[in-house]
């Protein structure tokens, strides 16, 4: 999934630029796209949690809102 690769690159760039919130927001958006394509991929969910856990983001509702969009069987 290329979207997750883009998200991870932006996440790493933001970490080197003192947690730039614009890059983190874009990384989060890309990770959400990746999850919409592969909602059962546990590695993507883990990566979403890593991005959302950054102190600049500090919004647990991001993960909860993402979880509510998917139905697991």
Alpha-carbon Rg of the chain, whole angstroms?
Answer: 12
Per-residue pLDDT of the chain (73 residues; tens, 9 = 90+): 699 999 999 999 988 877 678 888 899 899 989 999 998 999 999 998 888 887 655 655 555 655 566 555 5
Please give the pLDDT value at position 72: 53
For residue 64, give both structure tokens. 């909860």
Buried b (16+ CB within 10 A) or exposed e, 2-31: ebbebbbebbeebeeeeebeebbebbbebb
Neighbours of 70 (CB within 10 A): 11
Please give the pLDDT value at position 9: 92
Cα maximum dimension of the chain: 40
């Amino acid at each position: 999934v290329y979207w997750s690769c883009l998200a991870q690159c932006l996440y790493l760039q933001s970490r080197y630029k003192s947690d730039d919130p614009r890059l983190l927001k874009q990384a989060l958006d890309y990770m959400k796209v990746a999850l919409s394509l592969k909602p059962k991929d546990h590695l993507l969910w883990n990566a979403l949690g890593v991005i959302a856990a950054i102190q600049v983001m500090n919004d647990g509702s991001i993960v909860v809102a993402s979880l509510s969009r998917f139905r697991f069987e």
